[in-house]
């Protein structure tokens, strides 16, 4: 604690002065915290002198809350902050997955999906539980990896009766992760102009088994990706135009919800959403 106080004095950010009865003093307190690395080991011990106020104290009157400081690592999500933005990724989560599946020494691929289409032909896996476990882990990874949304949704469709070709597709995803484990989401500083942009697309009868189409969208707030999806449509469409319109309708519904959310929290968009 003394080192923290000496650092504040050497930086010229504070000085000890006698109090005056005419002044309204703001109370302060020392906050101690252990900063840990993603692997759980101790990074350093930190002490901070803070003024008692920021919303937290008012909430604590009604709810049992704690102020844990800036978020760095939570539920396998790693958060790195800088003066120009925030980077969220799951590098440790990916590396642990590769080690668990014994794919950490595999040759990396540059794409997560091959050209061959998956179907329901071939030999059933002797141990389908392993396939289901890996796919479940990959689903959680799509929180920070929108580039995996389509292919993970694809292999998830074969969870009930996975076959050898489906396991090979999952291994290709793992090989892709081997070469891109450091990828994630970058959120630059929000500019004064809040513009909402959306992109939508769909294939037509992409699944050779049930002839259903897969639609997807991604929505940006300024330059930050805030929402994305890739899912098989619920019905069989009769044309590529119908498939595109259905995907567009889902995108519009998502935008409507986001706009209403912004209204509820007091944000004002600078222009109408662009699709």
Spell out the domain ranges in the chain. Answer: 2-62, 89-117+124-178, 190-265
Q: What is the DSSP string of 41-110?
A: -EEEEEEEEEE----HHHHHHHS------S--EETTEEEEEETTEEEEE-HHHHHHHHHHTT-TTSPP-S
Q: What is the DSSP string of 210-255?
A: T---EEEEEEEETTEEEEEEEEE-SS--SSHHHHHHHHHHHHHHHH
Tens digits of per-residue pLDDT, 80-123? Answer: 888 888 999 999 999 999 999 999 888 999 999 888 888 888 88
Q: Please list the pLDDT of the chain residue by residue as tens digits (275 residues).
A: 677 777 777 777 677 788 877 777 777 777 777 777 766 677 777 777 676 667 666 767 777 766 677 778 888 888 988 888 899 999 999 999 999 999 988 899 999 988 888 888 888 998 899 999 999 999 999 999 999 999 998 899 899 889 999 999 999 999 999 999 989 999 888 766 678 889 999 988 887 778 889 899 999 988 889 899 888 888 898 999 999 999 999 999 999 998 888 888 777 776 566 65
Sheet with 214-221, side-by-side order of all strands: 196-202, 214-221, 224-232
Which letter does DSSP use for residue 67 in this model?
A: -
Longest CA–CA span in the chain (Å) reads 84
Angle between helical axes of 91-100 and 128-141 (0-180°, round to 10): 170
Question: What span, in angstroms and rounded, lies between the C-alpha atoms of 151 and 171?
Answer: 12
The residues with which 182 forms a beta bridge, in sequence order, are none
């Amino acid at each position: 604690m003394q080192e923290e106080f000496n650092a504040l004095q050497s930086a010229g950010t504070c000085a000890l002065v006698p109090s005056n009865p005419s002044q309204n003093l703001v109370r302060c307190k020392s906050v101690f915290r252990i900063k840990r690395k993603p692997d759980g080991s101790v990074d350093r011990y930190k002490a901070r002198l803070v003024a008692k106020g920021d919303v937290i104290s008012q909430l604590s009157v009604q709810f049992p809350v704690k102020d844990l400081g800036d978020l760095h690592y939570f539920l396998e999500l790693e958060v790195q902050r800088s003066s120009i933005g925030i980077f969220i990724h799951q590098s440790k989560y990916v590396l642990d997955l590769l080690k668990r599946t014994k794919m950490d020494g595999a040759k990396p691929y540059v794409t997560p999906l091959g050209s061959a289409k998956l179907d329901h032909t071939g030999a059933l896996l002797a141990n389908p539980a392993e396939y289901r476990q890996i796919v479940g882990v990959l689903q959680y990874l799509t929180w920070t990896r929108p580039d995996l949304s389509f292919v993970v949704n694809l292999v998830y469709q074969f969870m009930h009766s996975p076959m050898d070709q489906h396991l090979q597709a999952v291994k290709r995803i793992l090989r892709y992760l081997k070469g891109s484990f450091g990828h994630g989401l970058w959120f630059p500083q929000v500019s004064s102009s809040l513009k909402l942009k959306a992109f939508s697309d769909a294939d037509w009868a992409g699944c050779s088994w049930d002839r259903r189409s897969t639609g997807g969208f991604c929505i940006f707030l300024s330059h930050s990706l805030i929402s994305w999806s890739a899912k098989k449509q619920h019905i069989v469409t009769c044309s590529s135009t119908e498939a595109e319109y259905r995907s567009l309708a889902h995108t519009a519904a998502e935008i409507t919800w986001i706009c209403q959310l912004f209204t509820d929290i007091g944000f004002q968009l600078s222009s109408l959403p662009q699709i």
